[in-house]
Amino acid sequence: MRAVDLIRKKRDGLELSGEEIAFLIRGYSEGTIPDYQMAAWAMAVYYQGMSARETADLTLNMASSGDTIDLSSIHGVKVDKHSTGGVGDKTTIVIGPLVAAAGVPVAKMSGRGLGHTGGTIDKLEAIQGFNVELEKEEFYSQVNEIGLAVVGQSGNMTPADKKLYSLRDVTATVDSIPLIASSVMSKKIAAGADAIVLDVKTGSGAFMKTLDDSIRLAKAMVDIGTQVGRNTVAVISDMDQPLGHAIGNAMEIKEAVATLQGKGPNDLQEVCLILASHMLVLGGKAASEEEAREMLQQKIDSGEALDKLKKMVLAQGGDVTQIDDTSLLPEAELKIEVKSDRDGYIESIQAEEIGIAAMLLGAGRETKDSVIDLAAGVDLHKKIGDPVRVGEVLAVLHLNRQHEKGLEEARSKVLGAYGFSNDRIPKRPLVFALVTPEGIKRF
Ligand code: URA
């Protein structure tokens, strides 16, 4: 077999066999197929697409290219959740404890962020002492004991995806639906879940800017899950503005804690309840989404969901007093208000611009080696639909003095991210569609 023949075959729109895909992934991982050939193949996929079968084969080959996690020693149906990224997305920190409190074990591997704000793991590290690197056995036994653990991805999981993703990043082949779907699902499959709830974001701050593309991506991922025997559903949720008010690591922990206390922002609370409901149904703890929702609300009202977060923080070496009193979390030295220069209604908020502003204040990494400032970030006081008057505060920038050089650019990015209208703006739905193996339901 020769890589050049497989590139030509894909370029001409033909379907590759399972053996041919295995040859490409093995060769690329081992270094016998060079970057330039893999880049040409990825570009051919970008234009020609892949069949559901090819996509599933690619996924399984990437999933088995490195370490895999065997969750069979954990009792119960293990349900994973994955969000396709977005600004202000702290759903894992809310949903993990919430679902675990309702009896579904959560053994979660999460990532760090590059660019924009931090990932879930960076956010959890805002809690003093929180250890995100557990040995496999510690990880399993913590989930068996308290029902919940969130750790960083092990160093050698899905190395083929890591290598291919870096290549795609510099060859304009990231935004290919089969390549994104196989990349995401390879990591979920390697992480060992029995069932998967996907949160596919749509809108200005998401990979997929249109609802149709988001549905196509969701369907590709649900098809992969179905083909490889993992019950998978996907919720299409809004990322046309950041989720919640807080963007920045410690600030997002505070907001997640408030949400677990039933005092969080409506959009965040609602998206978390929807995703968590699907997890309870897939985990066999509720017969319907409605029943699941009632159970989850009760876990919030009774304080059991927050208690579950505290148990995890304690088990992973974190300072629980910072959860009891979130004012003890890292706090920035400066709080700079960004004020509106006009009257009207907020029509749009470019999520990506807000993410970049948070990064300029220190909340995200500019390069792989940047050190995150855990206290920094942006607190949005106005969201889409809110009325605003000249001089009213749109957002507050949180920063430490060492990042003052980024202040002016961050301020203008935040101001520029807001779009205004003279007319009242109708409320946007938070969730647009549900994709299951049975079909697509649009709301
Ligand atoms: N996230 C991933 O993990 N992979 C992609 O290809 C895109 C987003």
Whether 92 contacts 85, CB under 8 Å:
no
What residues flank ligand 1, with Cβ below 6 Å?
Answer: 165, 174, 179-180, 183-184
Q: Give, using CA atoms, the residue closest to atom 3 of ligand 1.
A: 184
pTM of the model: 0.93
Report the alpha-carbon angle 258-143-301, nearest 5. Answer: 30
Query: DSSP code of 325?
Result: S
Q: Enumerate helices (H) and strands (E) in the chain, giving the number of each.
A: 17, 14
For a mutational test of ligand 1's pocket, the pick from 84, 168, 198, 199, i.e. the residue with the most ligand atoms closer than 8 A to its C-beta, is: 84
Mean pLDDT by groups of 10 residues along the chain of 443 residues: 97 98 97 97 98 95 94 92 88 97 94 74 95 93 95 88 90 92 94 94 86 95 94 95 96 98 96 97 96 98 98 98 98 98 95 93 83 95 97 98 95 97 92 96 93
C-alpha 38/C-alpha 240 separation (Å) is 33
Whether 120 contacts 370, CB under 8 Å:
no
Q: Is 112 a catalytic residue?
A: no
Q: In the prediction, which pLDDT does 115 show?
A: 59
Q: Among 57, 161, 194, 379, which one carries the catalytic annotation?
A: 161
Count CB atoms within 10 A of the CB of residue 426.
8
C-alpha 234/C-alpha 414 separation (Å) is 31
Q: Among 168, 245, 365, 383, which one carries the catalytic annotation?
A: 168
Q: Classify residue 171 as left (phi > 0), alpha (psi -120 to 50) or beta.
A: alpha
Helices (H), 191-265: 211-227, 249-260
- Please write the tens of the pLDDT for every residue from 374-406: 999 999 999 999 999 999 999 999 999 999 999
Q: Is 194 a catalytic residue?
A: no
Helix (H, G, I), strand (E, B), or coil: what is residue 389?
A: coil
Strands 195-202 vs 231-238: parallel, antiparallel or unpaired: parallel
Q: Single out the residue of 63, 143, 153 nearest to residue 107, CA to CA.
A: 143
Q: Is 161 a catalytic residue?
A: yes
Q: In the prediction, which pLDDT does 428 show?
A: 83
Q: Which two tokens stand for residue 249?
A: 């690591």
Distance (angstroms) between ligand 1 centre and the Cα of 148 equals 25
Q: Give, using CA atoms, the residue closest to atom 6 of ligand 1.
A: 180
Q: Is 441 a catalytic residue?
A: no
Distance (angstroms) between ligand 1 centre and the Cα of 170 equals 14
Strands 334-339 vs 393-399: parallel, antiparallel or unpaired: antiparallel
Distance (angstroms) between ligand 1 centre and the Cα of 220 equals 13
For a mutational test of ligand 1's pocket, the pick from 166, 170, 184, i.e. the residue with the most ligand atoms closer than 8 A to its C-beta, is: 184
Atom of ligand 1 nearest to the CA of 179: 6
Q: Among 110, 176, 183, 340, which one carries the catalytic annotation?
A: 183
Domains detected in the chain: 3-49 (1.20.970.10), 79-325+432-442 (3.40.1030.10), 330-421 (3.90.1170.30)
C-alpha 294/C-alpha 347 separation (Å) is 33
